[in-house]
Structure 1
């Protein structure tokens, strides 16, 4: 017997409560509870399923278990390609290019069999118009405009496509749940059914998800745990390039990023992003130095820029873009203590051009040198880079994958690099044509900068 049951669900984490709460006891966010009217059924007549397990050594390994495209950056972020039976959640701001990327990649996947592009937001004629602009005209690409998940799954079971693209999950609903599309319950239940059929039939799914104003995936956090991979498509407003960032990946490395151009006839990959980010530097720069950053399995060369001006207010400002603001506060304190620089009356502005946020602590030394250069008006050659993590005692600590970082510097024509003394053993007997300057602490740096 069916009956209506009202409950309240946290939009952030999916926590359920029988009454409305101002603050979620699970994730501690305020005003996140939304009312859901759920249709529940008695489970007294449910029968137990007959299930069986399979021995690990009896499972045959697939030789070609990934679908690849000519967009190598896209495949790399996925971990080497799209795995058969994988469910990928693609998120991003409205208009960032999610649908363009997936429609363009569907052309590549057509060489493996049937591809179903399902949209609850556009008619098939509108999708066809966009496909013409992207030069997508494949015989194996099927378009469908439907929003009921039960009808969609029946169609998938009948046609058995290799890859299904759902744009977007917020428009899909189940007729067994008494709530409107886009609610937490609908998103969760529809995704659960998609994951189930993906694993049973080894059909790969791309699910497009909307994001909230603060950049989080709309719906409960549980949605990210249900899928195999979460990719976020980012881009600064007014810029023509886009960043595809891997947040979660069960079949590859996390924190991978790919850089793409947004062009009139679609998306193209930037094969040398380091050269792209460093294209507008002068031969000598004040307050600017390059650092090689490790993102997933790839090295990116990024510029650290600093600007110091006298503070007009009692409390100096620390304006930071692309770097951790709290980290800048710590580094500023270490600089004042160890390098005897008076930063108490200076406004500090730190910028990482290109829209990439640096989370790698190996950029500490570059930030310190950038601030010191801006304070003392010392020019730094564009062919010099810096790598090193800074401790509170002023020591420059060892960083990982140092050889890989130096090789990338050499490829782009750099002549010298500052590295931690503790990395000397890792670089002994290595044929790297760079002038390597080893530093133990900030006192060694001070002597060099003078």
Structure 2
């Protein structure tokens, strides 16, 4: 029986995509952030907030209050995971702790046991609404537990210590260990910024430059297992240059480094704002970024006219032209795009300036002038995406079922947009295509 809740249907597709990535799920798996975000949506759905409280209740608070001992009176694997999450110094809030615990539960194959434990703890379960929560709906709970069973049989090998950005994003930076031989000075100029220790510069001829394992813009997350997350300005430099080096004199030094470059070679998105701040101090930094502010004038600069990327509400979005949409019939396969896009263009509708935000599980298009949402689609609702076969390749489109939330056969529509650059058009097509499994739908 297919899951009736849209979130469960999307989670099922995401798990299938995870399985298609390979036998082992790692942090480099493209569909891992989407899967984790969907689990988070489900655990938050129907979670009621206390009437007289200044603390925002999150699913972490539910797991934290579960009984800490099993039936034998000893600490269970669940309580150990909760305690490990509670004492992690890299996590600052309930969102980060909840995400850390989810990753820990997936790695240890105990997420299904966590949910079962919650279901048998009435004083916690009653925090969820009986009318909207999946956990208190018998028809939705059974397929959800079946999906968790599938997840428990998969091999998740995640870098649990890479957790310093979980408070901000499910998308994690590349995390690597840098081990260096003992030396008097590593030759790094550090900059403390918003609770993180950045490498601002490598001194010529220093050990760090010789090793070629660090780059300006990288973050020093740990030194020999000592977390620098949210440390004070002087403490980080003092620990690095003084205490740590003096205590480990004659011994190798091990640094956990978070890279400013993502796995695809682009800038790690949650770091963009901080990297721009960093470059105001060292303009020679080559971070591949468009400057957000002018050091001299101190006011925001507009991106070049040829670029569609811009920063909005802390996220990188695309500034595009929405050309309209048209119903294309009962078939939404990729073959129809070259005929479907002209159908949209022949309607000669006035184009609209819009922002397109490609999130981890869905995309949202809002009108630039009024901030009105024009459409929102989860990736599994999209049946195909592609560029228009013209010389400039700046028009792309995707097909989506007209009424995916109903069982009525209403056909497919084609949604067309225009970019400023062919390269960005190709990038958008690839990013949308990565969000769904290529299938051809019939309705």
Please indicate, yes or no, whether the TM-score normalized by the shorter chain is above 0.5. Answer: no
TM-score by structure 1 length?
A: 0.24
Larger % of helix: which? 2
Compare CA radii of gyration and give the structure with the larger one.
1
Larger % of strand: which? 1
